[in-house]
Amino acid sequence: MRVGPLCYNASRTETGRVLESKLAMDMDNSPLRSRIEGRTEPVARPDAPRAERPWDALPAEEAGTQPVVSVRGIVKELLETAIFILLVFFIVRGVVQNFKIEGQSMEPNLHGNQYILVNKLVYFHFDLNAPLRLLPGRENLPPRVVYPFHMPQRGDVVVFEYPRDPSKDFIKRVIGLPGDRVEIKDGKVFVNDTLLDEPYIASTTVCQPARPCFSGPVVVPPGTVFVMGDNRTSSSDSRDWDALPLDYVIGQAWVSYWPQETWGLIDHPTYAADLGKQ
């Protein structure tokens, strides 16, 4: 019985199949075959290890590195913040200012040790002729003052520099405007021959014999206002040192904020004289 050649042929046939399979795989992975079939990447062999790309970088957190904070940047931010705070402070200070009341001249409406906010912007004004006075031969131009909002009005409570000592601040109520005729008669106040209705005062109004208001009506000069305290028996005001120049006015008493029970807007009444004037 002959079996040798049959076994040899079977073994050779099996070896040939393995070689053909390997050859076919190599041909599939060849660059030429990839270009012919339109593949962009070669087919990876099952047993081939994946190569790491050199440009694959780990995130900063995984690499253990932290972003570097610039000291110069921190100093710059601190300076910018400080400048901004100072700018806001000076702007607010130029518009609103706090004020502590001392004395009893505004009783019974405003009291000693009471804190208020003063609106400085509302009386902002400027002189249109000021630049023209710099020109030769025009040094004597009269002032031409403009109030973008409004000048002090009758009934306004104003804070101002005391004319006889500008280092001191006073608070009084505006009674007369430039050109008004103010008269104190029978314990009452008349402006332009109209009686002022003053429910906020608790006493009568008198004028000392040595003062101009004692002998008759007083005309308020241009550029000034006539002011008096609400506590007429205990107030140093225009009855004693004449009308107040408008340049000394700091602002309008606006809000009372301390003590807490006095919190609120400060009242500014409207008089009958305002309705009949002009």
Q: Name the pTM for this structure.
A: 0.68
pLDDT tens-digit readout, 236-268: 999 999 999 999 999 999 999 999 999 999 988
pLDDT tens-digit readout, 136-148: 988 888 889 999 9
66 within a domain of the structure (yes/no): no
Decide if 206 contacts 187 (C-beta within 8 A).
yes
254 within a domain of the structure (yes/no): yes
Q: Write the CATH number for 210.
A: 2.10.109.10
Dmax (CA) of the chain: 166
213 within a domain of the structure (yes/no): yes
CB-neighbour burial class of residue 33 (10 A; exposed 0-12, middle 13-18, buried 19+): middle
67 within a domain of the structure (yes/no): no
| pLDDT score recorded for residue 147 | 94
Q: Cα(59)–Cα(210) distance, rounded to whole angstroms?
A: 91
Q: By residue range, what is the domain housing residue 192?
A: 101-276
Residue 181, helix vs strand vs coil: strand
Decide if 100 contacts 118 (C-beta within 8 A).
no
Q: Is the peptide bond before 178 cis (omega within 30 degrees of 0)?
A: no
231 within a domain of the structure (yes/no): yes
236 within a domain of the structure (yes/no): yes
* Higher local confidence (pLDDT), 208 or 64: 208
Decide if 126 contacts 146 (C-beta within 8 A).
yes
269 within a domain of the structure (yes/no): yes
User: Number of folded domains in the chain?
Assistant: 1
pLDDT tens-digit readout, 184-211: 999 999 999 999 999 999 899 999 898 9
| Token representation of residue 95 | 């518009």
Within 8 A by CB and 6+ apart from 176, the residues are: 154, 182, 191, 218, 220, 225, 226, 243
